[in-house]
Amino acid sequence: MKHWVNSLAVLVLLAAACPVLADEVYEGWNAGDTGGWQPNTNRTALEVYAEGGVDNSGYLRSYETGAGFDTVGALQSNEPYVGNFLTHGYARMQVALQFFEGSFTDARFRLRYMSGGYNGWYYPLTTDFTPGVWHLLSIAFDPTWSDTEAIAAGWVQESNTPSFQETLANVYTTEIRVLGTGELVVGMDDFLLGEMVTPVESTTWGQVKSLFSFE
């Protein structure tokens, strides 16, 4: 019996040292193409630049092709950027933005629900639109939040959109949306969806033994 308990404790120790990894998706636009990202309106265009960006190895530029929308940005409608964020294990988003031209009023991380017939939830990313520099923006979230918790954390629910939990369980598009006036041009780089960054906790053999009786 003692041998079985010792073996079980070893398994617990290994599990503590080797947590289950969540999905992670990253795009730096360094391969010379959009990586499946699309314009977020029918008056927005995308262009990949081979130079420039956070590490000077490429970035995605979005600009308006016609007046009226005052919106630029890009979206993804392909896995693993969409679907069930809880199943993916997503709890963090980061993106680098540079505001090249125009007068900017808002930059959002937006998740649309299920289909083009719905809107979604969005998170305002920054109020600092200083040009000429890359702004590295990062947020943390929990797909299991109630609407009250999501709103308290800064999320905004659009019209014709179900709850925060339902939306993040069935994400139709993942989008970076930037609003303003004038001829808007914005750069995007280092986009990431992944798990929460937490400090690594070491587990001692003594801590594991304390969970069991070895009498």
pLDDT at 21: 60
66 lies in some domain: yes
pLDDT at 76: 98
pLDDT at 206: 47
pLDDT at 22: 78
> Going along 23-165, which residue ranges are E strands?
25-27, 38-39, 44-49, 59-64, 71-76, 92-113, 120-124, 135-140, 156-157
Top pLDDT among 15 and 182 is at: 182
Over the stretch 134-172, which tens digit does the pLDDT of each residue have?
A: 999 999 999 999 999 999 999 999 999 999 999 999 999
Over the stretch 83-126, which tens digit does the pLDDT of each residue have?
A: 999 999 999 999 999 999 999 999 999 999 999 999 999 999 99
pLDDT at 66: 83
Instruction: Give the span between the Cα atoms of 51 and 59, in whole angstroms.
Output: 7
Compute how many other C-beta atoms are within 10 angstroms of the C-beta atom of residue 36.
Answer: 12
Instruction: Please report the sign of the dihedral spanned by the C-alpha atoms of residue 24, residue 30, residue 36, residue 37.
Output: positive
9 lies in some domain: no
3-class DSSP state of 58: coil
13 lies in some domain: no
148 lies in some domain: yes
pLDDT at 199: 40
90 lies in some domain: yes
12-16, 24-28, 44-48, 133-137: range with lowest mean pLDDT: 12-16
pTM (predicted TM-score): 0.83
The yes-or-no verdict on residue 204 having pLDDT over 50 is: no
- Structural domain count, the chain: 1
| Structural domain that includes position 180 | 22-197
CATH number at residue 120: 2.60.120.260
**68, amino acid identity:** G
The yes-or-no verdict on residue 209 having pLDDT over 60 is: no
61 lies in some domain: yes
Instruction: Please report the sign of the dihedral spanned by the C-alpha atoms of residue 24, residue 27, residue 31, residue 37.
Output: positive
Over the stretch 38-94, which tens digit does the pLDDT of each residue have?
A: 999 999 999 999 999 999 999 999 999 987 789 999 999 999 999 999 999 999 999
46 lies in some domain: yes
pLDDT at 10: 33
143 lies in some domain: yes
17-21, 122-126, 167-171, 177-181: range with lowest mean pLDDT: 17-21
| Alpha helices by DSSP H, the chain | 2-17, 85-88, 147-152, 164-169, 205-209
pLDDT at 98: 98
109 and 95 Cβ atoms separated by less than 8 Å: yes
pLDDT at 48: 98
The yes-or-no verdict on residue 20 having pLDDT over 60 is: no
